[in-house]
A = this chain, B = another copy of it.
Amino acid sequence: MKDIQNQRDTRNIPIDKVGIKNLRYPITVRDRREGRQATVATINMYVDLPHQYKGTHMSRFVEMLHLLKSEVSLKNFAALLDQMKQHLDAKSAHIEIAFPYFIEKKAPISGVPGLMDYNCRITGISNCDNEVDLVSEVDVPISSVCPCSKAISAEGAHNQRGQVTLRTRFKRFIWLEDMIELVESCASCDVFSVLKRVDEKEVTERAYGNPKFVEDVVRDIASRLKEDNNITWFSVSAENFESIHNHSAYAHIMSGPVPHKGTGEKQSPHPGF
């Protein structure tokens, strides 16, 4: 049977990334409290393709995933990237894994427990020099009270759900829980899945006493991250789903240019949509 993918290509154009995209897969993720939790991921896996080959072998990506039994953690990412390079005979490898992550969180006064969901992403690149670049990312829903509305109004203040997206590069392993707690501590108030009336009073008053613009939220998070010498790079954005508008307010701070490691990583432009 012909192996078209293995044929020689004469266009002389190497491909930066080739592989599979939007594969859904059940995975287990390391969990600070329980040890591990089961969730469902959307996975992209790519390798580079040298100019002389016509195609990559797409089925090997999925086979690899099946063999790995889908145990995912920052700790085994480097090994996973290395295996991809071997199985696909490639010089660089990319994995992008997105999944909802659940944390038990008690209501602030009543202590009633509930589960909060957070969208998380872990992405990794191993380049042709075997340098590994990992990025950890969390989307954290928050509550934000508008300082301007509070200052100018006789009573009340508009507030809304917002979402903070935090991406970090780091020296040592970092828990998703730690990133999430950092973000939540910088909001007007954090968000819960169960609140009894005593709790609703508490979060209403706490948020009203702590009004913040999207600008304040990203600055407070950036301040904290700059003091943490485990963090080598970060990007933080806050988006408020304004309760007085049908569009969002948005602010974004990046700690510095994205590190370019080897030739394997060329960044994308304007990822606004």
Contacts and interface: CB of A to CB of B under 8 A. Distances in A.
Nearest to A239: B21
A123 B44 contact: no
Nearest to A28: B38
A174 interface: no
B245 A18 contact: no
Interface string A212-234: 01111011101100000000000
Given A1-B197, A18-B251, A161 B242 contact: yes
A111 interface: no
Interface string A199-216: 011011101110001111
A269 B49 CA distance: 21
Contacts of A58: 249
Contact of A245 (B25, B49, B191): B191
A150 B2 CA distance: 10
Contacts of A76: none
Nearest to A267: B267
A115 to B, nearest CB: 6
Interface of A: 1-5, 9, 11, 13-26, 37-40, 42, 44, 46, 49, 54-56, 58-59, 62-63, 66, 94, 96, 98, 100, 102, 112-117, 121, 123, 125, 135, 141, 143-161, 167, 169, 189, 191-198, 200-201, 203-205, 207-209, 213-216, 218-220, 222-223, 235, 239, 241-254, 256-258, 260, 266-273
